[in-house]
Structure 1
């Protein structure tokens, strides 16, 4: 998902007293003065004699349609690449049921956030935590958002590690990967991080944010259209071009009980086994399904800043924006998962785009999709890194003046940590699973519910009132989901049954 929590902090820090009063918000703390304000300046030049544009210049002027686009863009992200794998391990009907449930629960949690923000007049996730539980609440929200963003950046860089060697292989017209360094994904992800992402991450403010956001959403739409098109172009059984994959595929068929007689296979039996979609299935990989879905639907830190920018903003109008955005993403997610699964059935990998390389490594359409997705995720990493660095600054260096040395070191340390995670992670499934089972349930289920229970005055809604009981059950569901998902994932790791993306 392409999350951009930078807006959350920027809204709060840029609001002046009068603007905050007009919005019905409190002036946030801490305020930035002196050299720290340099971080809020854009790197794009502005015309002499004109006031520098600020984030709040457009506050309250964003149309309903553009707000839907912004929130849809905040929801959409790398999670869409893992949904076909989730469907392969649940079946179509169970997947549809779970996806619908997560989408509806996300809508309800946004409803709780909007009510809470309306009561206290605060439109920032961390500040709601501060209002509800003081500094511990603010730190908990900031840590959850930070972990979510680190997971998002790791998933983006894992896509670079996985897909960039295939792009180079196609351009060089190589029939198979070589041992040369420029075909090693670990080396390539380090080079991209050092040469492209780090210079962009060192900007004081990412002025290309809007352009990169729109481009990223366009790339994912292109990806979806390509997945649908390839479903009707690739026959079933899939004609694997990679011999190792074909041998593994044949072994799977043999162990499934398919027999060969007189050198001739039962082609009809093979086809019915390979090409029959499953409606319902459960296996060791099913544990990753809900975490992948939760990871794909996290957009809650961006809801309140978008609410602030909405023209003629009301709680009802913002709820409509959220409902439409989630509905649009729900349809895109289901279509991407369905057509990806119907193309490869049980052989789809945890990163769908990688699976196409085993059919035709030189497919021009898939090459274009890869280049587009790689460009989008590379440009998005510094955008997501920006609020993580600011959160670290708030937690550890709150009263310090702006320092280029500290600004640079934090970016380098974050990128180093993320690169290590990407290099040593066996597949992208682990990233989706862990982040989707930890920070995602906190941001979607637990925090909105407990903030609502704490902030809503008892004289308006007693603790035994139906809305608060529902919110408490909602928070309990999040805790239960977190415990169960983590337990199943740890069991899967210890038994060594997890499939490695790209291992065929």
Structure 2
């Protein structure tokens, strides 16, 4: 109606100011009448204002940029462990579990967004605080720190194994260049951290990473295409052994493996720590838009996960390693297999380099909220941002030199922190805060209880399986 307004903080009052009010009144009687009656006819519902109020000219990210950032949070190193889970679960049960966990994860993201908007929370910890109190918030932030730090350690382990090799596998540098300083994986990882990762990690907005996130998803798709093409060619040539379709319950070792891989599967979709940062930078900040982002991300990730798990397991069968990239250090049995092995390994290392800053972003934000609560936004303190970035990079690097394999890391984070962040906390938030707003439908309440029950079962099963697995290995 020809008026301009300036958005102001949510704790202030709203006042409409008309330009040249007197002139407009004299020239337009209808407008004058409308302005006179404005106070009586217009009510502002502050309870339904957007989560973060910013000026209109502060452009945010679009839907597809948000999808790439959220998908990058999902498609990390976990995809490399999926073919090994197919070896344990079998193709039928494994694929069903991939789809089931994807659907539950998308529902939990919708719960998180809805109730974060309802209580005006800006982070995962804040919505947990509103629903469950300060101790639960601290616990959730500790879970984010452990989960994300563990994931980043896994990324560096994979980069070191692929480029410099391990005890059982030869690295890309050894194959291309022979022996040299690159045989020392700690040196190679340190160079990657300083030269490639540090410049990306110092960025203070997650939207700044949308382009690199799109590139990382593209590199993951390249891996899927190559694996599927090679598996299809070998299947036509009769060089692929019949795959296992169902889990093997014939031995104690098989049952222990089954107990271990189920939490790893639940870990594959955990991206909830980045939901709020991505939502806060959306151009159109509405729950409907973020839910669309979540659904598109889930469809993309389910397709990539299922394709990778099936193709990788068909390619290597019972020889599938916990990190399938290490299987690509030997010929694949088809033409141009050497070139394809280099493309797969180097391409996925680049993918992890581009994923690393997205996971690091929420790790840094959470550490700042936990350690410097009340010190103001991290984006307003460049020194604190840089200090946290380099301290966290140093700690993650040290962790990568101490943990022997990604399977070890995924077993523990998948059974504890990942399940809590992806399913336990969102279900508890929905059940607790549903009484303060529109509430949950009977179907949504059932899903929340189902999610919570499955999370508890998976956590208990995973912890028990890991304990028995460690005891078996020590004997």
TM-score (norm 1): 0.72
Select between 311-320 and 142-151 the one with higher mean Cα deviation.
Answer: 311-320
In 1, the alpha carbon distance for the partners of 2:265 and 2:358 equals 22
CA gap of 1:217–1:471, structure 2 versus 1, over 3 A, is same
Q: Which residue of 1 aligns with 2:263?
A: 291
Moved more, 426-435 or 411-420: 411-420
Paired residue secondary structure (2:404): coil
Aligned 8 A contact 1:123 1:307 in 2 = no
Distance of 1:108 and 1:131 partners within structure 2? 20
Q: Which residue among 431, 440, 459 is the counterpart of 2:409?
A: 431
Normalising by structure 2, report the TM-score: 0.76
Cα distance between partner residues in 2 of 1:369 and 1:221: 10
Alpha-carbon distance, 1:331 to partner: 1.5
Larger Rg: 2
Distance 1:225 1:277, change over 3 A: same
Is contact 2:51–2:285 with CA below 8 Å preserved after alignment? no
Aligned to 1:477: 454
* 1:333 aligned residue: 305
Distance 1:400 1:323 in 2: 35
What is the alpha-carbon distance in structure 2 between the residues aligned to residue 312 and residue 203 of structure 1?
22
Partners of 2:143 and 2:417 within 8 A in 1: yes
Q: Is there any run of 5+ residues in structure 1 with no aligned partner, and where?
A: 1-14, 29-52, 239-270, 499-504
The CA distance in 2 between the partners of 1:237 and 1:162, in whole Å, is: 31
Q: Distance in 2 between matches of 1:66 and 1:200?
A: 17
Alignment of 1:284-323 (within 5 A): 284-308=256-280, 315-316=287-288, 318-323=290-295
Matching residue of 1:255: none
CA displacement at 1:184 relative to structure 2: 2.7
- Counterpart CA distance in 2 for 1:404 and 1:305 is 18
The match for 1:168 is 173
Kindly provide the CA deviation profile for residues 439-475 of structure 1, in whole angstroms up to 9, marking residues without a partner as x.
Answer: 211111111111112212269659x977546524422
Tell me if the contact between 1:25 and 1:120 (Cα under 8 Å) persists in the aligned partners: no
The number of residues matched between the two structures is 418
CA RMSD of aligned residues (A): 3.6
Using the TM superposition, give the Cα deviation of residue 110 of structure 1 relative to its aligned residue in structure 2, in angstroms. 2.1
SS at match of 1:89: helix
Partner of 2:393: 415
1:193 maps to 193
Structure 1 equivalent of residue 21 of structure 2 = none
Q: Distance in 2 between matches of 1:397 and 1:459?
A: 31
2:49 alignment partner in structure 1: 24
1:288-324: per-residue Cα shift (whole Å, max 9, x none)? 3222222221122333444455566654554344233
Alpha-carbon distance in structure 1 between the residues aligned to 2:56 and 2:436: 36
Q: Distance in 2 between matches of 1:57 and 1:404?
A: 20
The answer to whether the Cα contact below 8 Å between 1:16 and 1:27 also exists between their aligned partners in 2 is no
Aligned residue number for residue 103 of structure 1:
102
* 1:120 to partner: Cα distance: 2.4
Of 433, 442, 461, the match for 1:455: 433
Q: Secondary structure at the match of 1:398?
A: coil
Q: In the alignment, is the contact (CA less than 8 A) between 1:93 and 1:279 conserved in 2? A: yes
Q: 1:399 to 1:118 in 2, by over 3 A?
A: closer
